[in-house]
A and B are shown apart, each in its own frame.
Chain A
Amino acid sequence: LLLTDNKLRVIEADRVYEEVGIPKHEVRSTANVRLSDPRPLANTRESLHQLVQSRVKGERQVVMTDGTISVDSVLVQVDGDEDEKTVLVSWGYQDEALGTYLLREIELMGK
């Protein structure tokens, strides 16, 4: 709810920055998870893609570009070989719920 020029308007919270002219501060978290998964990298990547997809609904699009799985501010990258893999999970504060959920699930995959 924004009051400007004596007018009351309902706008998306993210649009307040430009409407009021205040600089946004982006807060991002990144974590590395070690994964013991003996399958080829492509299979692990596909499992991670399915995990992300299973949690995303509505208009949000899960994109896979150059092996990086992304949806909005969330990024999931896996690297490594059959012996050990590392998964990088990164998300902006606005996607905290999805980011922390994915991190927890990926940690469980590695156990």
Chain B
Amino acid sequence: MNNKPKFYPWGPLDITSLVQKLTQEGIVNAKVEETASGYIVLLQNEDTVIQIEEKRTHIFCEDDARSDLRAKLNRIIMSSLNKF
């Protein structure tokens, strides 16, 4: 298996845009906390944490049966980043 990614993301993630898009997609419980290196977005109903730094974004899903949620979050995060 050697599937190439569709996009190559770059630059910082726009947190305001991310939260707006989460809301538009029906994820309305996002709680944003500022950290020393960026932000943490807590999605309590989804049992998910998104850690955002200048050069990286990390999605942690605790619940193991949420592939549709992961795909949705990936799509939203990608749409909040510059990419080529």
Q: A111 CB to closest chain B CB, in angstroms?
A: 10
Known A27-B74, A98-B1; contact A103-B67, beta-carbon cutoff 8 A:
yes
Known contacts A27-B9, A29-B58, A32-B64, then 13 further A-B pairs from the complex at CB < 8 Å, ordered by chain A residue? A13-B4, A13-B84, A22-B10, A24-B8, A26-B56, A27-B59, A27-B77, A30-B58, A30-B59, A58-B2, A97-B1, A98-B3, A100-B67
- Which A residues touch B5, using CB under 8 A? 93-94, 96
A: residues with CB less than 8 A from B are 13-14, 16-17, 22-34, 55-58, 60, 93-94, 96-98, 100-101, 103-104, 107, 110
Query: Measured between alpha carbons, how far is A66 from B82 in the docked complex, in Å?
Result: 36
Which of chain B's residues 1-51 have a Cβ closer than 8 Å to chain A?
Answer: 1-5, 8-13
Q: What is the interface of chain A mostly: helix, strand, loop, or mixed? A: mixed
Residues of B within 8 A of A25 (CB): 9-13, 55-57, 81-82
Does A28 contact B61, Cβ atoms closer than 8 Å?
Answer: no
Contact of A107 with B3 in the complex, beta carbons under 8 Å: no
- Chain B residues closer than 8 Å to A33, beta-carbon distance: 64
List the 3 shortest-distance A-B pairs measured between CB atoms, nearest first.
A97-B3, A26-B56, A33-B64
Cα A20 to Cα B18 in complex, Å, equals 26
Task: Tell me if B1 and A57 are in contact (CB < 8 A).
Answer: yes
User: Is the beta-carbon distance between A30 and B60 smaller than 8 angstroms?
Assistant: yes
